[in-house]
Structure 1
């Protein structure tokens, strides 16, 4: 399995221990706050969220994955709308993945997405880990072109 950390965080701002040292927004709840002199807007947040979701969908196409399964599901007490069942072991087809990932990135639920050929794990502060059976170098380049940073990195959620 080839594993990657995919984030909005430029690695040049990491110290020698790998800690990101720049002030950055890390959550949906940060909308309206100021970081490095710039106010985070809802539009900027959504654009970044869409990049993460696009990265997942690109990897699913590369791996020919049409269904992912929910693992380790945790939900908060907030109500949210989903046209699919959010429960342990639920099978989601590719059309349901964007809504699920949006719910995870907005911290309404937490879950791992797994299939035989691929996994997606979300960490705190907009960290995402993807593992794939094939290397998918062309897709990694497309993800970088979206403005995300791709680093070889083992998921701490395995």
Structure 2
């Protein structure tokens, strides 16, 4: 098997004593006696974008595959589909990459179809490029003047979910749910982050409906029972409106839930207003922290259309 290396690509000189900018947010600050302007930032950012597009050309592809997606807010109109396995063309890749370089919480690892090359954005304005050693020359050929390979390192080896969400997995969930008349909590993750989730509380006789709703490449987790606080939002709206910070860790759903899927969404003033406008204004609130803190005893990945496990999900 060919060795895989991770290359760190950046504009930096590699001199640890050099004063160099590393973020979009630093526009207007001085580095090495010069002020970072928007124009200079845009010039350098275009080097990164051009590098990725050139690498795509050398790999013979005009599309990249989404891997390890993370979603920090509602998806923009130009990105209607964004999950493990989504194929993106250049018109989506470029704005997504620019957003990642600028610190957006929505992003992914881009994979060349087949997975031979993986490109991500790391801290401090680095790109990470995972590539088979015998394809390293493609990365070197794609580098424009102004970018360089600063160093290489071994790819990180995280503990991933390896179990498929197959008949045996759903049978195990059913056996667990049989002992819980009120139902068990199930999370489908199509991306990391509160906007990449679908929450269910399902009884054993509802699991077939939940299974049919799962999409290829999603992670499926069942874990700790979560406490739900039921509130009449009309009684608390003034308090919510005065909150200095909206707690993104809180999820809310219309209560009572009429089916297994809770249609939970991140808590926000906008979500509160919508719930009051469209319904009775009674919601259930829960904090999934306990669910995430304890490793899920039952976690699996939905196979792709070919029946293979290609999506990488952390345990």
**TM-score after normalising by structure 2:** 0.42
Cα distance, 1:139–1:113 mapped onto 2, change above 3 Å: closer
SS in 2 for 1:112: strand
Say if 2:126 is the partner of 1:127. Answer: yes
Larger radius of gyration: 2
1:114 corresponding residue in structure 2? 111
Say if 2:68 is the partner of 1:69. Answer: no
Whole-Å Cα distance in 1 between the matches of residues 67 and 154 of structure 2? 15
Whole-Å Cα distance in 1 between the matches of residues 155 and 17 of structure 2? 20
Select the residue among 27, 31, 55 that pairs with 1:59: 55
Cα distance, 1:67–1:75 mapped onto 2, change above 3 Å: same
Task: Give the RMSD, CA atoms, in angstroms.
Answer: 2.5
What is the number of residues matched between the two proteins? 149
Cα distance, 1:62–1:48 mapped onto 2, change above 3 Å: same
Say if 2:9 is the partner of 1:6. Answer: yes
1:16 corresponding residue in structure 2? none
Cα distance, 1:124–1:139 mapped onto 2, change above 3 Å: closer
Contact 2:55–2:142 at 8 Å: present in 1 too? Answer: no
Cα distance, 1:114–1:141 mapped onto 2, change above 3 Å: closer
Gaps of 5+ in 2: 158-315
SS in 2 for 1:153: strand
Gaps of 5+ in 1: 14-19
The structural deviation recorded for 1:82 is: 5.4
1:105 corresponding residue in structure 2? 101
Q: Please give the per-residue CA displacement for 1:46-98, whole angstroms capped at 9, x wherever unaligned.
A: 11110001111111111112221222222334x78552236222210234221
Whole-Å Cα distance in 1 between the matches of residues 91 and 58 of structure 2? 16
Contact 1:33–1:39 at 8 Å: present in 2 too? Answer: yes
Whole-Å Cα distance in 2 between the matches of residues 70 and 76 of structure 1? 16
Whole-Å Cα distance in 2 between the matches of residues 156 and 2 of structure 1? 6
Structure with bigger RCO (C-alpha 8 Å, 6+ apart): 1
Select the residue among 20, 26, 44 that pairs with 1:24: 20
2:34 corresponding residue in structure 1? 38
SS in 2 for 1:92: strand
Contact 1:5–1:151 at 8 Å: present in 2 too? Answer: yes
